Structure 1
Amino acid sequence: MLNKVLVAYGTTNGSTARIAETIAEVLCKEAMMAEAVPARSVTSVESYDAVMVGGGLYAGRWHRDARRFVRRHGRALAERPLRFFSSGALVASASERNIPPVPGVKRAMLRLGVEEHVTFGGCL
């Protein structure tokens, strides 16, 4: 059983932070310990049983803090359950269908063995 989950995120305007906080709240309701933390302030993932990483999408790229987090902690991330999410697809269809990850996120998923990704619609 997973006991402690990190939800790390990169955000510019706060939308991705709100999504990460909501994910952590839902996990806590499911009897897990979860916390949402800005990706740039995480120094280690060793104390977590699982990690979710999210980033806002800007010009077809994941937020810089999310990209750096994945590079910096790649080895440790590959050793535990890992999921990705993105936010910022400001299109009506974002709520109607699953939007695939952008190319850079897809490459990171393949490198680290991430099986799940979801894109949430952003907000202005």
Structure 2
Amino acid sequence: MTIKVLVAYATKNRSTAEIARTITEVLREQGLDAEMRLARDVGEVHAYDAVVLGSPLYEGQWHKDARRFAERHREALAERPVWLFSSGPLDESADEGDLPPVPAVRRILISVQAEEHVTFGGCLTDDAQGWMARMVVKAGKAGDFRDYEQISAWALRIGSTLLGEPAADPGGRT
């Protein structure tokens, strides 16, 4: 039996989509049937055995599409394994150790009974959309702080868990 995994994400400037794509590809390489979809486009989650949900952080909040997804599917999510990720810090802090989820994300973590949450470094480029993003770019704080090795290791651990195998990367983050 093939394990179906939904990798749902919200994004504003496409950098979280690239993280979701990496997670999806790693899960597929492990033999899982992983599907990547925008959170706002997902109608039902009942067809999936597990869900990975991610969002960028803006001013300490998840993107509204991810928050709405979590609320709309709260009961169904609580019935299957769920992993959450945030992207956002525009510095090296995500590489220096585990960053706890912001309060709003912690509430989602608890309400859907997620397995875990991780925060990855974010990415903000010169062509970023939105007033706040443009101000951050103008202040010289833009950059790409995503660590694809870290992202892949986390996805490997998810896949190993779903497949009932020992963790593929004991050095991976929680």
Give the secondary structure class of the aligned counterpart of 2:79: coil
CA displacement at 1:115 relative to structure 2: 2.7
| d(CA) in 2 for partners of 1:96, 1:16 | 20
Q: Which amino acid in 2 is paired with 1:32? A: L
| d(CA) in 1 for partners of 2:40, 2:115 | 24
Conserved 8 A contact 1:82-1:114: yes
Q: CA RMSD in A?
A: 1.1
| d(CA) in 2 for partners of 1:42, 1:114 | 18
Matches within 5 A, 1:1-124: 3-124=3-124
| d(CA) in 2 for partners of 1:15, 1:100 | 21
Higher relative CO (Cα under 8 Å, sequence separation at least 6) belongs to: 1
Q: Which amino acid in 2 is paired with 1:25? A: E
What TM-score, normalized by structure 2, do the two folds share? 0.69
Runs of 5+ unmatched residues, structure 1 = none
CA displacement at 1:40 relative to structure 2: 0.2
| d(CA) in 2 for partners of 1:115, 1:34 | 18
CA displacement at 1:97 relative to structure 2: 1.2
More strand by share: 1
What TM-score, normalized by structure 1, do the two folds share? 0.96
Larger Rg over CA atoms? 2
CA displacement at 1:75 relative to structure 2: 0.8
Conserved 8 A contact 1:2-1:50: no
1:36-67 CA distance string (max 9 Å, x none): 10000000001100001000000000111000
What is the identity percentage for the equivalent residue pairs of Structure 1 and Structure 2? 58
| d(CA) in 2 for partners of 1:9, 1:112 | 16
CA displacement at 1:2 relative to structure 2: 6.3
CA displacement at 1:111 relative to structure 2: 1.6
| d(CA) in 2 for partners of 1:15, 1:66 | 15
Paired residues in the alignment total 124
Give the secondary structure class of the aligned counterpart of 1:113: coil
Conserved 8 A contact 2:70-2:112: no
